[in-house]
């Protein structure tokens, strides 16, 4: 049984990879770009879920890391000649990590609403700084038209297909790393801190230090997402990637998808995009559709779509095993 499952798994993964490899050829540029956006926000939302779902820390200011990633990459590409694409993304990540490092001494001391609001305060501060320091950040215009390095080879520049492949590689890599992290003993301690910080403390683990590490890791992945977002649009701006809406969007995505489950945020991003697409085509009242969706999700699917999915799965399993037992009995 196990062997078959393993083989089936490998086949499924291979099929997925082949499908993704041919996706741009099959569906055209519009849907390809949609998948790139999906990849960016999946990494962003999952990075926040590391804080929210696994450590229980709600942040109202995660956009600052996303924005720092974007600005870091944009500034690096603007000022350093001939920078490659991966070092450029590295600069974005580094910017977010540095910001997180500066903030950790404050952040590890607080929990709950104070944590959420302190993050919001610093995010707002960064937003205003980005607007006011226009000699560096370009103010309200942001930084646009910075040079984009060739993505795999120097000749493949600005082609949307290649952005897609790069996005898939980044998505795969980041998701794998974050998944790996939640499975390590250290990731398990995080869940412990969420459920009972005192007990984890008594067991001899250092709560503030572990929180700090998760905070910085979460910032790093958000930075990568923001950096790629900036590259994809060839523009970063305060309103586009540092605003308050950008902080609340991943929270909503996580809640729609399912908090605490690893694939929840990704599911949420996909559903969020479907809703966006629906709004774009059929209605003018985006607030109504969004609001109604949120209400329905909370009232009928408290654990989000992933929660609904796992509930249906366990129901189906129960029925299946129940039938099997009955067959045995007869």
Among 6, 109, 315, 325, binds other proteins (CB under 8 A): 109
Q: Which of 8, 169, 288, 312 binds other proteins (CB under 8 A)?
A: 288
The nearest distance, CB 211 to other proteins, in angstroms, is 14
Let me know if 205 is exposed, middle or buried by CB neighbors in 10 A (0-12, 13-18, 19+). Answer: middle
Q: State yes or no: residue 293 binds other proteins (CB under 8 A).
A: yes
Does 106 engage in binding with other proteins (CB under 8 A)?
Answer: yes
The single residue among 156, 168, 252, 271 that binds other proteins, judged by CB under 8 A, is 252
Find the part of the chain contacting other proteins (CB under 8 A) among 106-114, 143-151, 163-171, 196-204. 106-114
Closest listed residue to residue 49, CA positions, set 61, 40, 58: 58
Any contact of residue 195 with other proteins (CB under 8 A)?
Answer: no
Binding mask 127-156 for other proteins (x = CB under 8 A): -x---x------------------------
DSSP 140: G
DSSP string, 157-222: -S-HHHHHHHHHHHHHHHHHHHHHHHHSHHHHHHHHHHHHHHHHHHTT--HHHHHHHHHHHHHHHH
Strand partners, 306: none
Q: Which of 102, 125, 136, 169 is the binder for other proteins (CB under 8 A)?
A: 125
- DSSP H or E run through 236: strand 235-236
Residue 168 vs 207, nearer CB to other proteins = 207
Residue 58 near residue 251, CB atoms below 8 Å: yes
Q: Cβ 235 to other proteins, closest distance in Å?
A: 23
Nearest to 29 by CA among 150, 154, 164: 164
Q: What are phi and psi of 62, to 5 degrees?
A: -65, -20
What are 257's two structure tokens? 């998808």
The residue count for binding other proteins (CB under 8 A) is 36
| Options 10, 16, 18, 298; binder of other proteins; rule CB under 8 A | 298
Binders in 37-66 for other proteins, by CB under 8 A: 52, 58
Who's near 168: CB < 8 A, 6+ residues apart? 20, 39
Considering only 11-19, 42-50, 105-113, 270-278, which stretch makes contact with other proteins by CB under 8 A?
A: 105-113
Q: Is 261 left (phi over 0), alpha (psi -120 to 50) or beta?
A: beta
Which residues here bind other proteins, judged by CB under 8 A?
52, 58, 106, 109-111, 113-114, 117-118, 120-122, 124-125, 128, 132, 244, 248, 251-252, 255, 259, 285, 287-288, 290-295, 297-299, 302
């Amino acid at each position: 049984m196990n062997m078959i499952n393993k083989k089936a798994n490998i086949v499924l993964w291979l099929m997925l990879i082949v499908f993704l490899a041919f996706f741009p050829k099959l569906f055209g540029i519009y849907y390809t770009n949609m998948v790139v956006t999906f990849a960016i926000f999946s990494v962003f939302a999952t990075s926040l879920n590391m804080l929210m779902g696994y450590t229980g820390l709600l942040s109202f200011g995660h956009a600052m890391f996303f924005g720092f990633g974007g600005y870091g990459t944009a500034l690096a590409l603007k000022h350093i000649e001939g920078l490659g694409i991966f070092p450029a993304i590295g600069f974005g990540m580094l910017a977010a990590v540095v910001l997180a490092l500066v903030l950790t001494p404050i952040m590890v001391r607080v929990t709950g609403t104070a944590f959420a609001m302190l993050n919001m305060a610093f995010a707002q501060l960064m937003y205003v700084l980005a607007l006011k320091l226009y000699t560096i950040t370009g103010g309200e215009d942001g930084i646009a038209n910075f040079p984009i390095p060739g993505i795999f080879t120097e000749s493949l520049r600005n082609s949307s297909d290649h952005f897609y492949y790069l996005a898939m590689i980044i998505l795969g890599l980041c998701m794998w790393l974050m998944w790996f992290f939640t499975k390590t003993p250290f990731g398990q301690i995080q869940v412990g801190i969420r459920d009972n910080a005192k007990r984890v403390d008594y067991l001899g683990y250092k709560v503030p230090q572990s929180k700090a590490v998760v905070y910085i890791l979460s910032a790093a992945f958000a930075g990568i997402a923001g950096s790629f977002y900036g590259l994809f649009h060839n523009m970063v701006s305060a309103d586009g990637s540092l605003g308050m809406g950008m902080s609340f969007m991943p929270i909503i995505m996580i809640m729609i998808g399912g908090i605490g489950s690893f694939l929840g945020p990704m599911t949420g991003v996909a559903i969020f995009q479907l809703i966006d697409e629906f709004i774009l085509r059929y209605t003018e009242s985006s607030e109504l559709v969004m609001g109604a969706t949120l209400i329905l999700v909370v009232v009928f699917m408290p654990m989000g779509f992933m929660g609904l999915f796992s509930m249906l799965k366990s129901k189906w399993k129960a029925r299946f095993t129940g039938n099997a037992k009955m067959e045995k009995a007869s």
